[in-house]
Structure 1
Amino acid sequence: MTQPRDPGTIRHLVVVGHPRIDSFNHAIARAYREEVEAQHQQVEIDDLYARNFDPLLRRDELPVPGFKPRPDVAGSLAQIEGADMIVLIYPIWFGMPPAIIKGYVDRVLGADYSPEELKADLPNPVLRGKRLTIFSTSAATRPWLEERGQWLALKQAFDTYLTDAFGLRDCHHVHFDAIVPGLDARFVAEHLEVVRQTARERATVVRYGDLPPRLLRRPDF
């Protein structure tokens, strides 16, 4: 039987891709952090907009022999290397994650990872075995997104594809729809309780390993 890990050594990297600090996306990050820290695990928040992260993949960042990451990417890779759980928090704009999140995938998650390695099903050595949690939001309702095929496309591109391509251990995605200005305080509180419940579950999974489905809340997907 696998022994539980010391919670004090478990680290979560929370990557936020929303420009407004007063947004619901940032409220998700704060709630997740508070709950995970209550489980005595460590959390580091990477606010991409706050540090002016450049989403553009430059020519010298393409995977070639002798690849050397730029300083900002090297710092992000160090964060990932020390993390057990990677958490992405972003809004859906025009049916897609914001450019800053796609740029994080291109420049950081895909750093020095070639198409040849992808085709050969070789896992990304930096990401292999790590767990991924995604919190996304949209102003549109989920049925509206589903009717237009955007929901399935997002799931395949950012959940299934990233998990399989990079060799991640698993992915858990929670989506909040109808997130618009002037949300009712009770509505916000209910959603943030879902975030806290998810944080507790993910913290438990990292500490104890895979748990039977009956011990976990039904996932969104």
Structure 2
Amino acid sequence: MTTTTEAPRHMIVLGHPTPRSFNHQVAETYQRVARECWQEAEVRDLYALNFDPLLRPGESPSPDIEAELAMLQACDVLVFVYPIWFGTPPAIIKGYVERVLGANFRPQYLKTEAAAALFHGKRFLTLSSSATSLPWLNERGQWLSLRHAFDAYLANLFGFREAEHVHFESVVEGTRESYIAELLGRVEQTARFMCSELAQERNARVTARHLGWANS
């Protein structure tokens, strides 16, 4: 978490290839709300950035990966925005996990707390969508698998304090505008709640610091 009096920071990683898609609207809505709450929010559109998801043998962090890591270290919450394809996140999101979150990861970390120290205390939020319904995903075990094998696994491995996942179901081309507006309303609610949580934590840290100074 941030340890200064700066505004809380949200890093929004977007993994959808089509501009003006629902996922783009989700990322933009979340960013707008965070900024309305006087917090910092940046969208990292992986397709627009031409992000390379391929992890190569013996790869060491390149300047672009180092830049992503620096932003991750400075943020309070990492927000993934993506569509569920074939029961999993898109390859570009998984590539981001492997190349960025895992940039300084070592196999021996699995038996220690070293990996958990990489992003210790930061929040991890996912906003996903699918063309199918959540019951359909549940019936096929895809939702449970995603929550355990991706969300919870990453949170535990890298030390995120939690792994919240908000899913938007039955989003297809031609979906009625009123339904899309309803879903984007949920995005706004989620973003405002996150901003409120981060602001309270920031204020608590500032108060504790001031009390420490007063008592020193």
TM-score category of the 2 structures, normalised to the smaller one: 0.7 to 0.9
CA contact (8 A) 1:76 1:108 kept: yes
Deviation of the 1:148 alpha carbon: 0.7
Question: Is 2:196 the partner of 1:198?
Answer: no
* 1:16 corresponding residue in structure 2: 14
Partner secondary structure for residue 115 of structure 2:
coil
Q: Which runs of 5+ in 2 are unaligned?
A: 203-216
Residue type of the alignment partner of 2:34? V
Aligned ranges 1:17-166 → 2 under 5 Å: 17-61=15-59, 68-166=60-158
Partner secondary structure for residue 166 of structure 2:
strand
TM-score, scaled relative to structure 2: 0.88
Distance 1:112 1:183 in 2: 42
Residue type of the alignment partner of 1:90? Y
TM-score, scaled relative to structure 1: 0.86
CA contact (8 A) 1:91 1:98 kept: yes
Question: Residue by residue, what CA displacement relative to the aligned partner does 1:129-180 show, whole Å, maximum 9, x if unpaired?
Answer: 1111100111111111111111100000221111111011112110011110
Partner secondary structure for residue 121 of structure 2:
coil
Partner secondary structure for residue 85 of structure 2:
coil
CA contact (8 A) 2:9 2:41 kept: yes
Deviation of the 1:123 alpha carbon: 3.5
Alpha-carbon RMSD? 1.7
Distance 2:150 2:5 in 1: 28
Identity of paired residues, percent?
47
Structure 1 residues 144 and 175: alpha-carbon distance in aligned structure 2, compared to 1, 3 A threshold: same
Aligned residues: 200
Question: Residue by residue, what CA displacement relative to the aligned partner does 1:53-107 show, whole Å, maximum 9, x if unpaired?
Answer: 010111122xxxxxx4112211110110111111000001111110000000000
More helix by share: 2
Deviation of the 1:6 alpha carbon: 8.4
CA contact (8 A) 1:91 1:138 kept: yes
CA contact (8 A) 1:140 1:178 kept: yes
